[in-house]
C-alpha cells in the first residue's frame, strides 16, 4: 500500500472493496463500522439497494443532460421534494457537486443580489472564528481553520471574523446567560465598524462541524443574529453542509431554532454520498431582484443539476421520509449521546460531549476544570482515531478547535438507519480507543 497523509490520522490507507449498510470491508477482509459516516456524509450507510436501483435506472435512461439545455424529472422532483422538506421558506435551488461549491455559489448569489439592487459597494463578508466552509478559495476565505488556510494566505478574500458561538468556550467574563446577547452585540459593532454599506453577508454554521467538533449555537442565537442582519440589510447565509439534511434530527438544522436564513447551503446528507451533490437554496426576497435585473443566477457549473445525482438524492430523501428516519435520529440520537457521555465519563480527559441528533462531538482536555487543551504535538484526537480504525471503528478526529492549533475533538455521526446494536458497538470501540490512547500518554 502506498503511504499517504490522512486527515483521519491514518498513515497507510487500506484498499476498500465493498460496503454494506453501516459497514465497510477492505481488500484484506477487515470490517469497519462507519461510526462517523465518513465525514458525516453517509446518512443511509452503503450500498442501499433502493438507492442503487434508482441510480441504475437513471443511468439506463440518461446519465446526465446539461442543465442549461434540459430539465429532467429527477431534477424537478428533487427540487419539489427539497423545497417541501424545507417548509416553504425557499424559492430557488442552485445545484452543485459539493458543499464547497454550494458555499461558493451562496457567496456569489449574495453579491449578485446587491448588484441587482444597485448596491455594488456591499462586497464584504463576515464569518466566525473556528468555522469551516470549504476548499474553494472563496469558501476557504470565510473559514477560520488555520491548518487548512496557511498555504493559501495572500490569495484569500478580505473577510472579517467575529467570535465563535461556543458555550463550552465562552469569551472571558461572559456568562452562559449573556452569551447570545454578547455575540449579537459583537456582530452589530463589527458591521458598524466596517460600514453597513460595505457588508454583503454574515456566514455561519448552525452547528459547527470539523472546525469546532460539533458545536451547537446557544439558544436564541440564530434569532438574535438574524435581527442584526435584517437591521443593516446584511444577508444571513447558513452553511448546513454538514449539520443539515436531517443530520441533527430536523431536516434543516435551523428548523430547531425557528429561523429561515436568506441563503442555505446543503450537501453531504442530500444524496448520502452515493453521487456528489450539493445545493444553495435561496429565498424569494433574495432571488427577486436577481431575476428582475439579470434573469438568472450567475453561478453554475458544467455538472449543475447532474441527472443521476438528482436521482440519487431523490431516492435517499424518499427513504428518509418513508422510514421516518428523522424521528429516529431525533429520539435515538439523544439516547445515544447520553450513552456516550455516561460511558466516557470515567475519563477525566473527556471535557464535553455535545451535539444534536446523530451529530455528536467529544472534546478532550488536559484538565476538566480549566479546560486547557492538550498540546498540538500530542495529536491526541488523531491517536484515538487511528486506534479506533485499527479496531474496526471509523470516527472523525479533528484538531485546533481551541486556538487554531491546540484542541482535540472527535465526531460521531452514524448513518440514520444504524441499528441499535451498531450504535452500541460504536460506544464500546470508541471507549476502548480513548482508553488505549490515554493510557499510552
How buried is residue 289: exposed, middle or buried, by Cβ count under 10 Å (0-12/13-18/19+)? middle
Identify the burial level of 327 via C-beta atoms within 10 angstroms of its C-beta, where 0-12 means exposed, 13-18 middle and 19 or more buried.
exposed
**Interval 88-141: pLDDT, tens:** 999 999 999 999 999 999 999 999 999 999 999 999 999 999 999 999 999 999
Question: pLDDT tens, 296-331?
Answer: 999 989 999 999 999 999 999 999 999 999 999 999
Cα 85–89–94 angle (5° rounding)? 80
How far is residue 214's CA from residue 205's CA, in Å, rounded to a whole number? 10
Q: What is the mean pLDDT of residues 368-395?
A: 96
Name the pairing type of β-strands 199-204 and 124-128.
parallel
Strand partners for 359: 356
Query: Does an H or E element contain 99, and which?
Result: helix 99-116
Q: How far apart are CA 122 and CA 198, in angstroms?
A: 4
- Does residue 376 surpass a pLDDT of 70? yes
Q: Report the pLDDT value the prediction gives residue 323, as an integer from 0 to 100.
A: 98
Provide the percentage of residues in the chain whose pLDDT is more than 70: 98
Place 50 in a pLDDT band, splitting at 50, 70 and 90.
very high
pLDDT tier, 9 (very low <50, low <70, confident <90, very high otherwise): confident
Q: What is the pTM of this model?
A: 0.96
What local confidence, expressed as pLDDT, does residue 147 receive?
85
Position 7 confidence tier, pLDDT thresholds 50, 70, 90: low
**Mean pLDDT, range 26-46, rounded to an integer:** 97
> Which residues touch 5 (CB under 8 Å, ≥6 apart)?
none
**What would the grid cell of residue 312 be?**
440519487
Average pLDDT over residues 286-290: 98
Percent of the chain with pLDDT over 90: 95
- pLDDT score of 4 more than 70: no
Answer whether residue 6 shows pLDDT above 60.
no
| CATH fold label, 16-48+324-439 | 3.90.1150
Distance CA 272, CA 319 (A): 11
CA distance 361 to 394: 14
Please calculate the CA angle 130-135-141 and round it to the nearest 5 degrees: 55
- Grid cell 459539493 — which residue? 98
Q: What is the pLDDT of residues 133-189, one digit of tens each?
A: 999 999 999 999 888 899 999 999 999 999 999 999 999 999 999 999 999 999 999
Does residue 434 have a pLDDT over 90? yes
pLDDT band at residue 3 using 50, 70 and 90 as cut-offs: very low
Rounded to 5°, angle at Cα 439 from 438 and 441 = 65
pLDDT at 2 > cutoff 50: no
Break the chain into its structural domains and give their ranges: 16-48+324-439, 52-322
Mean pLDDT of the chain: 96
pLDDT band at 11 (very low <50, low <70, confident <90, very high): confident
- In CATH terms, the fold of domain 52-322 is 3.40.640
Q: Give the integer Cα–Cα distance in Å for 76 and 9.
A: 41
Is pLDDT at 8 greater than 90 in this prediction?
no
Question: Lowest-confidence range among 29-33, 146-150, 214-218, 241-245?
Answer: 146-150
* Cβ-contact 222, 257 below 8 angstroms: yes
Quick one: pLDDT band at residue 441, thresholds 50, 70, 90? low
Amino acid at each position: 500500500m502506498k503511504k499517504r497523509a490522512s486527515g483521519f490520522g491514518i498513515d497507510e490507507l487500506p484498499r476498500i472493496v465493498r460496503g454494506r449498510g453501516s459497514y465497510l470491508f477492505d481488500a484484506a477482509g477487515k470490517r469497519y463500522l462507519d461510526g462517523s459516516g465518513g465525514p458525516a456524509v453517509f446518512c443511509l450507510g452503503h450500498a442501499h439497494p433502493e438507492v442503487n436501483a434508482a441510480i441504475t435506472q437513471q443511468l439506463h435512461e440518461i446519465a446526465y443532460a446539461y442543465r442549461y439545455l434540459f430539465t429532467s424529472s429527477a431534477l424537478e422532483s428533487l427540487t419539489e421534494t427539497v423545497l417541501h422538506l424545507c417548509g416553504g421558506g425557499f424559492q430557488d435551488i442552485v445545484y452543485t457537486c459539493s458543499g464547497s461549491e454550494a458555499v461558493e455559489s451562496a457567496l456569489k448569489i449574495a453579491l449578485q443580489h446587491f448588484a441587482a439592487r444597485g448596491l455594488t459597494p456591499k462586497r464584504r463578508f463576515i464569518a466566525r472564528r473556528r468555522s469551516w466552509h470549504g476548499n474553494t478559495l472563496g469558501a476557504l476565505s470565510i473559514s477560520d481553520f488555520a491548518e487548512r488556510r496557511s498555504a493559501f494566505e495572500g490569495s484569500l478574500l478580505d473577510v472579517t471574523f467575529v467570535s465563535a458561538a461556543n458555550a463550552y468556550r465562552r469569551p472571558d467574563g461572559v456568562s452562559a446567560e449573556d452569551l447570545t446577547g454578547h455575540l449579537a452585540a459583537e456582530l452589530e459593532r463589527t458591521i458598524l465598524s466596517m460600514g453597513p454599506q460595505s457588508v454583503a453577508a454574515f456566514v455561519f454554521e448552525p452547528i459547527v462541524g470539523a472546525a469546532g467538533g460539533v458545536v451547537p449555537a446557544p439558544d436564541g442565537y440564530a434569532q438574535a443574529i438574524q435581527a442584526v442582519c435584517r437591521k443593516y440589510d446584511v444577508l444571513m447565509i447558513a452553511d448546513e453542509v454538514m449539520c443539515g439534511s436531517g443530520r441533527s434530527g430536523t431536516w434543516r438544522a435551523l428548523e430547531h431554532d425557528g429561523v429561515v436564513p436568506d441563503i442555505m447551503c446543503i450537501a453531504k446528507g442530500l444524496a448520502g454520498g452515493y453521487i456528489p451533490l450539493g445545493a444553495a437554496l435561496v429565498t424569494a426576497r433574495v432571488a427577486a431582484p436577481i431575476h428582475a435585473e439579470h434573469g438568472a443566477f450567475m453561478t453554475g457549473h458544467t455538472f449543475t443539476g447532474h441527472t443521476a445525482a438528482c436521482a440519487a438524492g431523490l431516492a435517499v430523501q424518499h427513504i428518509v421520509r418513508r422510514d421516518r428516519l428523522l424521528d429516529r435520529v431525533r429520539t435515538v440520537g439523544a439516547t445515544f449521546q447520553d450513552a456516550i457521555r455516561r460511558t466516557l465519563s470515567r475519563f477525566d480527559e473527556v471535557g464535553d460531549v455535545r451535539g444534536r441528533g446523530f451529530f455528536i462531538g467529544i472534546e478532550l482536555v488536559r484538565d476538566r476544570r480549566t479546560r486547557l487543551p492538550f498540546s498540538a504535538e500530542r495529536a491526541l484526537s488523531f491517536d484515538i482515531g487511528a486506534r479506533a480504525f485499527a479496531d474496526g471503528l471509523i470516527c472523525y478526529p479533528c484538531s485546533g478547535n481551541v486556538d487554531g492549533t491546540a484542541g482535540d475533538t472527535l465526531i460521531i455521526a452514524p448513518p440514520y438507519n444504524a441499528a441499535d446494536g451498531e450504535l452500541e458497538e460504536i460506544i464500546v470501540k470508541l471507549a476502548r480507543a480513548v482508553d488505549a490512547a490515554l493510557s499510552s500518554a
